């Protein structure tokens, strides 16, 4: 593509919602048990690592039992009450560079949606975890290798969601 040229690719995502009878606090706690409660210092690890093998060994220490680590979070519940919305809402960014590379090898623009985002919400009957299916965002053209890698991520994410909401 020439400099300044714009390419438009339309696509649609698939949103998944896992309801839970757990309290919001219990759902957050279960997620932290699965991904860690402190953000992984991936950028620092990258700077300190001399090569991919060193990076892989160092970052692997932060990977939780479902293959993910915490990157960051945004507590929307801390400010939406000012607008009269009485809900607990936590947006959490999780991922794993060792999984992300399986997709970015096939299309670096998949990095727009890696790491993935989860939204944890309080509900009248408990809580919920919502996210957009990564493959529905990442695979926007015919790319079988990317689809295979993104589908594997979908499966890992579903296992995490089922575990923390169950």
> What are the tens digits of pLDDT across the range 107-153?
999 999 999 999 999 999 999 999 999 999 999 999 999 999 999 99
DSSP 81-141: GGGT----EEEEEEE-HHHHHHHHTT-GGGGGG-SEEEEEEEETTEEEEEEE-HHHHH--S
Selection from 165, 163, 160 nearest residue 70 by Cα: 160
Mean pLDDT of 71-82: 96
Q: Is the pLDDT of residue 2 over 90?
A: no
Q: 28 CB contacts (<8 Å, ≥6 apart)?
A: 90, 120
**Structure confidence at residue 4 as a pLDDT band (50, 70, 90):** confident
Q: What average pLDDT does this structure show over 85-109?
A: 97
pLDDT for residue 1 is more than 70:
no
What mean pLDDT comes out for the span 8-32? 96
Across all residues in the chain, what is the average pLDDT? 96
Residue pLDDT, tens place only, 55-72:
999 999 999 999 999 999
pLDDT at 95 over 70: yes
Task: Inform me whether the pLDDT recorded for 103 exceeds 90.
Answer: yes
Look at 8-12, 78-82, 83-87 and tell me which has the smallest mean pLDDT: 8-12
Is domain 16-165 annotated with CATH 3.30.310.70?
yes
């Amino acid at each position: 593509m020439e400099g300044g040229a714009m390419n438009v690719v339309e696509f649609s995502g698939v949103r998944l919602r896992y309801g839970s009878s757990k309290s919001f606090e219990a759902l957050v706690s279960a997620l932290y048990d699965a991904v860690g409660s402190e953000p992984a210092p991936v950028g620092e690890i990258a700077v300190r690592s001399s090569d991919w093998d060193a990076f892989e060994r160092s970052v692997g220490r932060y990977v939780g039992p479902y293959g993910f680590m915490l990157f960051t979070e945004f507590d929307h519940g801390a400010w939406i009450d000012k607008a009269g919305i009485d809900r607990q809402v936590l947006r959490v960014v999780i991922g794993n560079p060792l999984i992300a590379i399986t997709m970015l090898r096939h299309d670096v623009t998949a990095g727009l949606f890696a790491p993935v985002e989860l939204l944890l919400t309080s509900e009248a009957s408990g809580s919920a975890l919502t996210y957009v299916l990564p493959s529905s965002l990442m695979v926007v053209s015919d790319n079988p290798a990317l689809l295979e890698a993104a589908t594997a991520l979908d499966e890992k994410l579903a296992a995490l969601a089922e575990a923390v909401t169950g």
